Amino acid sequence: MEATVAERGQITLPKAVRDALGLTKGTQLKVELDGGRIILRKNVDDALSRLRGKYKLPEGVSSDDVMRELRGRAPGDPYPPPRDAPAKQARRK
């Protein structure tokens, strides 16, 4: 595939490339140089920022409650002792 640089320095990415990466109008790309190559990367941060604030937790449920349900603890909770800690101590005696 080829693309031509226009007068103002713009290029048009081939439709197959846009479709394969899910690029739409306004999608942010990161541009990197690697020797004589140009590398374009889809900006994942942009996709995440569009989701921010889109989903609300039910009334009375905090993000810590969700973390405890998913991970068994939330940030700031004390670490529980390892499950096999008593068994190890019993073997040492």
Q: Domains for the chain: give ranges and CATH numbers.
A: 1-75 (2.10.260)
Q: Which residues pair with 37 in a beta bridge?
A: 34
Q: Which amino acid is residue 76, in one-letter code?
A: G
Task: Give the Cα separation of 62 and 31 in Å (integer).
Answer: 38
pTM exceeds cut of 0.75: no
Task: Name 77's Cβ contacts closer than 8 Å, sequence gap at least 6.
Answer: 68
Alpha carbons within 13 angstroms on the beta-carbon side of residue 5 total 3
pLDDT digits 0-9 by tens, 48-78 = 677 777 888 899 998 888 888 888 888 888 8
Give the least confident one: 4-18, 36-50, 74-88.
Answer: 74-88
Q: What percent of the chain has pLDDT over 90?
A: 27
Phi and psi, residue 17, nearest 5°: -70, -45
Task: Give the Cα separation of 85 and 54 in Å (integer).
Answer: 42
